[in-house]
Every structure is written in C-alpha cells, then in structure tokens.
Structure 1
Amino acid sequence: MNKITIIGGGNLGKSIISGLGNSDLFEAKHITVVDKSEHNLTEVKEKLGVSTSQHIIEAISDVKWVILCVQPRQLDAVLEEIKEELIADQILISTVTGTSIAEINEVVPKNKVIRVMPNTGASKKLSMTCISANEDVKEELVFVQKMFDTIGKTLIIEERLMQAATVLGASGIAFFLRFLRAMIQGGIQMGFHPHEAQIIAVQTAMGAATLVAKNGTHPEREIDKVTTPQGCTIEGLNEMEHQGLSSSVIKGVMASYEKINTIK
C-alpha cells in the first residue's frame, strides 16, 4: 500500500511528482498520475517514468495516498466520482484552495484528510508548503511532511490559517515578482539593458532573502547594514515609504485575504 496517486497533472502536480519521483519515499512505478490531458500524462511519463492513467477509479485502487491536485471548481465532481471506491485507510491530501477538511469529510467521511498549500517554487524544489490536519492524523502527518520536504520547505500550521497561508505563501510569489519587475524597470531607466537589469535585480533579491534565511535576522537588521548616514540607500527607502510602499503591500495582502475568504 506504499503507493500514491496524484489526481491532476498540471504545473503543481508535475512539481510534486518531480519531488516524489526523485526521493526515496516512493518508487517511480508506485506513483500514478491521473489527468484528462494526454499531453500532461505523456510529459510526466517521459520525464519521470511514473505510471499514468485517465481513469480515476482504476488509479486509486490499491494505493495508500491520494493527492487531490485539482482546481476548486473540479473538486466536487472528483470527490463524487471516487467516494464509493475509497476504502477507510486511504489518506486524502488536498491542495485545493478554500475547501476545509470538514467539507471534504462531508463527502468522504471515512477517510482522513490532510490539507497542504505549496507554491509554484515547487518546480525548482523551493516551495513553501503549509500543512494542516486534525488531531487524529499525527502519524500520517509526519510522512506527508516528508513528502513535501522533497519540493522545498514545510511548516505545520492550524487549519484556520490555511487561507492566510495561501495569500502569504502562494499569492506571495506574485507579490514578490511584481516588486522584482519594478526593480528591473528602475534599472532600465537608470541605463541598464533589460537583461542586465534583470540579472542584477534577480541576484540581489536572492541574496536579500538568503541573508534573512541563513542569518535568522529580521529584515530591518540586514537593511541597517546597507544604509549609511545621508546615503543613497536611506534616501531611496524613505522615498519609497513616503509613496506608501509598506502600506500598499500590507493593503494588497489584506485585499487578497479578504477575497480568498469569499472564493468557493
């Protein structure tokens, strides 16, 4: 029963499969991907050597773990299709935004459910994956954390924070990229060619994040190391704050959070 089926072979599904396929948790032959797209299935089969299928019922028989990696609008149909075929000791792992463990258990009450929220950094094994489960899923939770450690960093959180985790961790990728784009545009305006500005800005962003991650410091501590009295850095920082940088980011994060709480 140490087999796993991933329902959904899109970008996120492929990233998860890549991590699992290159780990020692599962043999490639024990990983099955289900998708309606022949293109997606051909790609994962050729690149990773896993099994593929377009038939959900066949793919979930005799497996311990079932990852639901579909769009929110597709979840109800998938659950309705598989609910009569699931057996009690199969574990469902849901990546679906906005659907609680309790809501999934309304359809499949006999199965344990674990929620996970990776981000698109998973494709480079740099995902930030938040994980939550009910109290009765402690043993299985340990293994699921090992699964998602194969594609980046993991954090166990309370389920009430999963919507916030989606905004900060998943939508957060887009927020950081928008700031990165602005830095690149500023570099171009100062005289760099676009590809030069991108190289500088991207490496600088990676360095900034790594300083905080490796040193375990607050961002302001690292900012203090760059700013000098009456220097150009503090001049730029103060102008950004006068124009509402921090306030705009916080408002954007909270607008996204308010929106996600209305999505179903």
Structure 2
Amino acid sequence: MIIQKTREEIELMRESALVVSRTLGMLASEIKPGITTLHLDKMAEEYIREQKAVPGFLGLYDFPNTLCMSPNAQVVHGVPNSTPLVEGDIISIDCGAIKEGFYGDHAYTFGVGEISEETKKLLQVTKESLYKGIEEFKAGNRVGDVGFAIQKYCEDHGYGVVRELVGHGLGKKMHEDPEMPNYGQRGRGKKFVEGMVVAIEPMINMGTKRIKQLKDGWTILTADGKPSAHFEHNVAIVDGKPELLSTFKYIYEALGIQSDEEDNFRAQK
C-alpha cells in the first residue's frame, strides 16, 4: 500500500534527507587513498548523532554499521572494514538517518584520487540516469516509466542494469511501497500520486547486469568483477511534479564542483 505524505510530513522528510546530504558532504573531503571505510563509518555515525538524528542503517535487518560502503566491483550493501582505500578506487556510500520518526536514505559514488576515464564515464552516466528517472516521477505516470528511462539511458551506453535490487518508497519505514526498479516498460506498474515519496537509485554495472553475494550475507558484487556505480535521491511528488528532498550540493561544495543538475527539481520559493 502506498502511503501518501502530507506537506508537513514531506517537510519533516526533507530534514531527514538533509541530515544524510550533509553527512555525505562531510565525508566527501575525507575520501582519499589510505583511509579506511571503517574510519569513515565511525565519522558518519558521530556526525549523524550530532545533528540530533539516529543512523538509519545501524541495526536495520541486523546490519552492523552506519554506512553501506561498496568499493569497485561491490554494487551495494558492502560492510565497512579496515582495508585502506587506494588511488583509482571508487567507493559507493549509501547512508540513512532517522529524524522526527522519518527516514532519509541516499547514496553517492566517489572516486578515490584519480580514476580512469572509463570509470569516470560509468559514474557520469549512472548519475545522469538518476535524473532521467526523476523526470518521470510525476503524478499520473507509473513505476515502469521511471525504470524504462533509467534502463534505456544506461543500456544505450552499453552498461548492465541490476535487476535484483531496486529503489523503494520511503517514510516512517526504510522500505515502503512501491518498489522502484531501474528497468521496466512505459505505462506499467503502480501509478504515481500526489504526496508519494520514494528513493530512486540506479545501480549500474560497467559489464554484466548479473550479480552475486558474498558469504557475509550482505555484500553484493558484479558477477564479472567489473566496477559498479550507485547514486540515489529522495524525491516527493508536490503539485504533481518531482521535488528533491535530498541534495548533492554539500558534496559538490566539498569537492569544488559546479553543477545545475538539481535546479529543475528544487522546491519553488
């Protein structure tokens, strides 16, 4: 069942999302060769609690940490550890927080030092596909419209679109209806209505779409060992149109990046 949110609830969810946005921004300047994902995880937990919020992933389904940290061929759900990152790695950081009873949950894939041009393109296309999907998240459209937009854009660039892992509705629970696949057919699936809030999150592989799971019960890897990228935003339908609750602006400020990619999806003042 889809749980529509009131304007007041959407504003509370924006605050939860911004806790995550600021946390990812704080981490952005710390990601460099030699640092461990476990160290970044501890920093994130402290920072989330300083914002009078609670880590959303810690203990969820018995997950042991604050962040899902997935380097290189890991797609999602990687468990932080003491292995240092090295030059040329990429690292997907998925973060959640609970504030005023609502979840924020989004992700960004970072380069560690200088990364290859081939990998830069994977990250760029994956992030661009996120906004292609968000454009379709509007009243009257359907789940398949978002999935089709993401799938077509990524497959046109020769990438594999993961099938087994999907985006989702978001609210007082981390995972609400509807499921939001990154593939699909136009006009199929549940219809979008005013007040919906979802997490849209392309998980895109440089090679095959196929995946496998490590024995830790969490970490998902590409089946061919090639890199994977993951970007995620929280989006609400307000006045029939998609409105971002999360933002990458804190990441871009930390990294000195100029971007207007979010301009079409910001709240109208």
TM-score by length of 1: 0.25
TM-score by length of 2: 0.25
Pick 1 or 2: higher relative contact order, CA cutoff 8 A, min separation 6. Answer: 2
Q: Computing the radius of gyration over CA atoms, which structure comes out larger, 1 or 2?
A: 1
More helix by share: 1
